Amino acid sequence: MKRNSVEISPDKTYLTLRWADGNQARFHAIWLRDNGLDGDTRSPLNGQRLITLGDIPHDTRILEASVRETGDLQVLFGPENKQIAFPEDWLRRHVYDREPASEADPGPISFWNAGLQDRYPRSSWELIRHAPAELGRWLAGVRAYGFAVVGGVPCQSGAVCEVAELFGYVRETNYGRWFDVRAEVNPSNLAYTNLGLQAHTDNPYRDPVPTLQLLCCLENAVDGGDSVVVDGFNAARRLRSEDPGAFDLLARYPASFEYTGARGVHLRADKPMIELAADGGISTIRFNNRSTAPLVNIPFDEMQAYYRAYRLFADIIDDQTMQVSFRLSPGELFIVDNRRVLHARKPFSGTGQRWLQGCYADVDGLLSTLSVIEQQQKTGVMA
């Protein structure tokens, strides 16, 4: 039977591991030493690193390397003369000698448009509360689509927070732990209008923005008022393919967002409408006509073109072929990844009330819970 094999580079700064299945990967001496799994390098209790880079000699080299019967890699590092073993599956999971991930392979993310109508992730409060596997499926839906619905939530004030607490933590803001979106037809206060709201991300005037928003329906007796969601990442990708120059303008210059709507509050952030990650991928969309402040970070010579790009992006977001719409009934809640998915409300009329409650949370807690559930499913330790 063919076995794994290893070869040290002539200058001993890296090794090449060849697996029996034909795959191979190179690993640097400094990388392997820094990631040693021995009890002196990593705490066996919490997995945290016990050394700093300064504890590793500059001239760290691989003196010897061999593959054990089990497939694990045994490495002798000089000049420390230190032996460290690396399990085969650990090495496979941490391969970095590969082509960078491309948008053709975006991992667990699925871009979408109106075609997602009637196919978006959905579950019920009873299921996600009692069945970890179902909670995992629903959270994986949020990770993939940046949007999901859950029904059967108790029609009680504050219940929206209980949903957030299933997987993470409520992020309290100046609007409170949760807030009411209570609109009345012909209201005395214009804040509670029945007008439609253009698709937007929430709170772009914060840095960092709340990365999740949950909106739960307690009452909906009006005509219209449907909710709409748009995949902002997909909208930005479409802009990039239709007009790369416009995409570049929205990604290059910081827009300005501001909120001063309450006494003692002045929130402001100068961030691009399309924020890119270090690898050039789209990381955060900020789009909100109501809280966009006068734009002052775009050079005079680019302002006309910037507004043209802004309008093109808005036209794509407003395009019905990009939108999924649904009507929330009492006890139904939707969650959006506020870095990615924009939400909107269609206008409504009639004589009843429309009462939603919302809260913010953050995606790190959601992904942590999902990761633990997925790990439990892999190892079969699931309840």
Residue 196 CA to residue 351 CA, distance in Å, equals 17
Query: In the complex, what is the shortest distance from the CB of residue 213 to Fe ion, in angstroms, rounded to a whole number?
Result: 7
**Residue 130 or 290 having the CB closest to Fe ion:** 290
The two structure tokens encoding residue 181: 């979106």
Query: In the complex, what is the shortest distance from the CB of residue 173 to Fe ion, in angstroms, rounded to a whole number?
Result: 13
Number of residues in the chain? 383
Query: In the complex, what is the shortest distance from the CB of residue 336 to Fe ion, in angstroms, rounded to a whole number?
Result: 9
For residue 15, what are the β-bridge partners?
A: 8, 27
Q: Is 231 a residue that touches Fe ion (CB under 5 A)?
A: no
Which residue stretch of 195-203, 301-309, 311-319, 321-329 sits at the interface with Fe ion (rule: CB under 5 A)?
195-203
SS3 24: strand
Q: Is 337 a residue that touches Fe ion (CB under 5 A)?
A: no
Residue 165 CA to residue 160 CA, distance in Å, equals 9
Residue 97 CA to residue 245 CA, distance in Å, equals 33
The two structure tokens encoding residue 223: 């005509």
Query: In the complex, what is the shortest distance from the CB of residue 288 to Fe ion, in angstroms, rounded to a whole number?
Result: 8
SS3 16: strand
Q: Is 202 a residue that touches Fe ion (CB under 5 A)?
A: yes
Site for Fe ion in 53-72 (CB under 5 A): none
The gap from C-alpha 287 to its chain's centroid, in whole angstroms, comes to: 17
For residue 122, what are the β-bridge partners?
A: 149
Q: Tell me the site size for Fe ion, rule CB under 5 A.
A: 1
**Residue 202 or 231 having the CB closest to Fe ion:** 202
**Residue 202 or 362 having the CB closest to Fe ion:** 202
Residue 372 CA to residue 381 CA, distance in Å, equals 11
Asked if 173 and 358 count as a contact pair (C-beta separation under 8 A), the reply is no
Which residue stretch of 127-135, 150-158, 201-209, 323-331 sits at the interface with Fe ion (rule: CB under 5 A)?
201-209
**Residue 14 or 257 having the CB closest to Fe ion:** 257
In the block, tokens 């953050």 appear at: 362
CA distances from 57 to 48, 49, 358 (A): 20, 16, 53
- The residues near 85 (Cβ < 8 Å, ≥ 6 apart) are 37, 38, 68, 72, 73, 74, 75
- The site string for Fe ion over 144-183 (x = CB under 5 A, - otherwise) reads ----------------------------------------
Query: In the complex, what is the shortest distance from the CB of residue 347 to Fe ion, in angstroms, rounded to a whole number?
Result: 15
Which residue stretch of 59-67, 144-152, 199-207, 270-278 sits at the interface with Fe ion (rule: CB under 5 A)?
199-207
**Residue 202 or 337 having the CB closest to Fe ion:** 202
**Residue 60 or 227 having the CB closest to Fe ion:** 227
Query: In the complex, what is the shortest distance from the CB of residue 377 to Fe ion, in angstroms, rounded to a whole number?
Result: 34
Which residue stretch of 82-90, 104-112, 197-205, 231-239 sits at the interface with Fe ion (rule: CB under 5 A)?
197-205
Positions touching Fe ion (CB under 5 A) are 202
